[in-house]
Structure 1
């Protein structure tokens, strides 16, 4: 016959192992979400650079402004500065330039990249907002991602 105290200890150890495995799985999922967010941010950066190149071709006088907007860091935790720079650049374009097929194509890529990025941010923030994630600090030192909000290039609306 197994003593009662030994059974309690075995059950507590088993429970601790199960909880540890669950927390480890949640931390791994959170890590994958952060990787997905970073990858989507890099894709957004590439799409924004492509649009800046097209703007530079359409309006050579805006090449420096496009380069300046592209020089603003696209940081995960603070997307507002880059978004503001991009919006300022887009406001300088005429309706004819906004209707240019090359510009529409690259702006569509930017819009899609921004949607993928914002979806990844939403999933990451959703998991990070859970009390167990905050209590056990499963996010580690990863920065809190922020949404990218910018005007749509194709029609000048949000």
Structure 2
């Protein structure tokens, strides 16, 4: 092999290695940002679920003792459920147990909501339900984006996600949207839109 051909081969190999290194660094940074986004979304979802359970306890006080028993028990169970650890790991099936508890709370709230006659608890419940729906969608969108990038062939081959656990979806049934003339879909009384 002549000297110019060897130099060209070495230069080509170095160029390919440099391009692959730049690509890997960019993917690692993107994966890190996505994992941070999932963590933030998980925190927002946990706060929304906690707020809904607190509102459910106030609603239980407003509906009377006949209907409040099941709702109070479901809200207490949902609040007692532990969320996945901040690093995303799911110790001893905590996520599945929390999903079951949140679904039970959703069913209880759907059964009690028509009995709410006072406008303040009904509006607060509607806001809390919408916040849970939004937080769950944001969380699951972040999980989806992260899982898509982690599933790319070169990301898997080079193990670019490091030791970060694969994020998991939080699957609960969305509450039924409120119906009636006072049920705002986009705007609530507490959080008016800027439009």
Interval containing the TM-score (normalised by the shorter chain): 0.7 to 0.9
Corresponding residue for 1:34?
Answer: 35
Instruction: Choose the corresponding residue for 2:79, options 58, 62, 70.
Output: 70
**How far off is 1:148 after superposition?**
1.2
Q: Which runs of 5+ in 1 are unaligned?
A: none
Q: What RMSD in Å do the two structures reach over aligned CA positions?
A: 2.4
* Runs of 4+ that moved beyond 4 A: 60-65
Return the index of the structure with the highest Cα Rg. Answer: 2
Contact residue 108 and residue 154 of structure 1 kept, 8 A: no
Corresponding residue for 1:145?
Answer: 167
- 1:38-93 CA-to-partner distances (Å, cap 9, x unmatched) read 11111111111110110111115555642432232322455322111111223233
Q: What does residue range 1-158 of structure 1 map to in structure 2 within 5 Å? A: 3-60=4-61, 62-63=71-72, 65-75=74-84, 76=88, 78=90, 79-93=95-109, 95-97=111-113, 100-155=122-177
Contact residue 74 and residue 104 of structure 2 kept, 8 A: no
- 1:88-133 CA-to-partner distances (Å, cap 9, x unmatched) read 2232336343662211110100100101111111111111111111
Q: How far, CA to CA, are the matches of 1:13 and 1:94 in structure 2?
A: 63
Contact residue 118 and residue 148 of structure 1 kept, 8 A: yes
Contact residue 104 and residue 154 of structure 1 kept, 8 A: no
**How far off is 1:11 after superposition?**
1.8
Contact residue 104 and residue 153 of structure 1 kept, 8 A: no
Instruction: State the TM-score, normalized to the length of structure 2.
Output: 0.71
Instruction: State the TM-score, normalized to the length of structure 1.
Output: 0.86
Contact residue 81 and residue 97 of structure 2 kept, 8 A: yes
Q: Which of the pair has the greater relative contact order for Cα pairs under 8 Å at 6+ separation?
A: 1
